[in-house]
Chains A and B, each alone.
Chain A
Amino acid sequence: MADPMKIRATLAGDSTEVKVLMSHEMETGQRKDAQGKTVPAWHIQTVTATYNGKTVLSAQWGPAVAKNPFLAFKFKGGAKGEKVQITWVDNRGDKRTDEGTIG
């Protein structure tokens, strides 16, 4: 089981800014280990953010995204005390969902 994400969401005017830190190795599949064997690719493939049951961001990621990725985005709307859910799924099918409260 992957470690939880850190999610900060703040209301600024009529939009909400969301900042997410994810804990993931993001192995590219290009590296070789000490024995010369390829380290298999292992990275997040899709990220979705939902607010009030509605998807506000969906992204497809590849091996070029850094280890322990940081994602920041804004969406229109949002209200203090409401929740934003973030979900990622990696290429091993492992997934993780966390939610943050808008402050």
Chain B
Amino acid sequence: MRIKFPGTARCAAWLFALAAPLALGQGSTVDEIAKYRAALQDGNPAELWEARGEDLWKQPRGPKNVSLEKCDLGQGAGVVKGAYAQLPKYFADADRVMDLETRLVWCMVQLQGYADADARKNPFGSPDRKSDMEALVAYVTGEARGAKINVALDHPKEQEAYRLGEKMFYFRGGPHDFACVTCHGDDSKRIRLQDLPNLTKAEGAQLAYSTWPAYRVSQGELRSFQWRLNDCFRQQRFPELVFASDASIALTMFLARNANGAAFNAPAIKR
């Protein structure tokens, strides 16, 4: 790369090549990854997804040509600020517990007139097929940055979802005889060089849940918490977790509730 500075203007320029390889050293790897994350914090491309999501939220779309601005995410129609920190929760109008994605699908169907299948398609993006759902999730979660995670277990259906999620977390199965807890039940476990959070402890659950969604540098994509769960299922060789299904809501409920009290800090940036 060549940079020229015209005239007499004194300039300094830095360019962070986001794909720069990691300096790996056994033992100090964790510190090095932390440094790498800190260096990237400033220019998190997740902001591009947030901006696109905000645009999608405000744009009249769908067969009814209306925006999502009247969508009730649990804090009243149109309230986005901080709403994600209290999801999943029970919604009386749908008579079920919903996480953010399920609620967005609901609003797209009820308000914008999309067919249910259309609202659910393409939940996770790839370079040649951007996902509107992921952008919307980026926007809504970004609006909850700094909010305290506060997931309630007041309604019987919320308690039921939590219990089901807990059961799933400890359920061993698949060709590897794995459960979520196999990898996420002890401190200082890792896959290759990645530290795995201990999700049975409050600190582990808080650290993990409050930092998704995240821009994954290695993939060049923003990834939602739903995507994280799906990929865990893939790694366990479990059947595919159906997007916005009761099972996926229940597992989200279990992990979100365990993260209660943490300050939400996403969309983040991860390796």
Q: Measuring CB to CB, which residues of chain A are less than 8 angstroms from any residue of chain B?
A: 3-4, 6, 19, 21, 23, 25, 54-62, 64-77
Contacts and interface: CB of A to CB of B under 8 A. Distances in A.
B146 to A, nearest CB: 18
B43 interface: yes
Which of B48, B51, B52 has the most C-beta atoms of chain A within 10 angstroms of its own C-beta? B48
A99 B157 CA distance: 49
B176 interface: no
A59 B2 contact: yes
15 contacts: A21-B44, A21-B47, A55-B6, A58-B6, A59-B4, A61-B1, A64-B1, A64-B17, A66-B19, A66-B220, A67-B220, A68-B45, A70-B42, A73-B11, A76-B11
Contact of B12 (A23, A62, A66, A74): A74
B76 to A, nearest CB: 29
Nearest to A74: B12
A51 to B, nearest CB: 9
Interface of B: 1-7, 9-20, 42-45, 47-48, 51-52, 127, 220
A89 B160 CA distance: 54
Contacts of A55: 6-7
A56 B47 CA distance: 25
A65 B17 contact: yes
Contact of A62 (B1, B3, B6): B1
Interchain residue pairs A-B with the least CB separation, the first 8: A70-B43, A66-B18, A68-B45, A73-B13, A67-B220, A66-B19, A59-B3, A23-B48
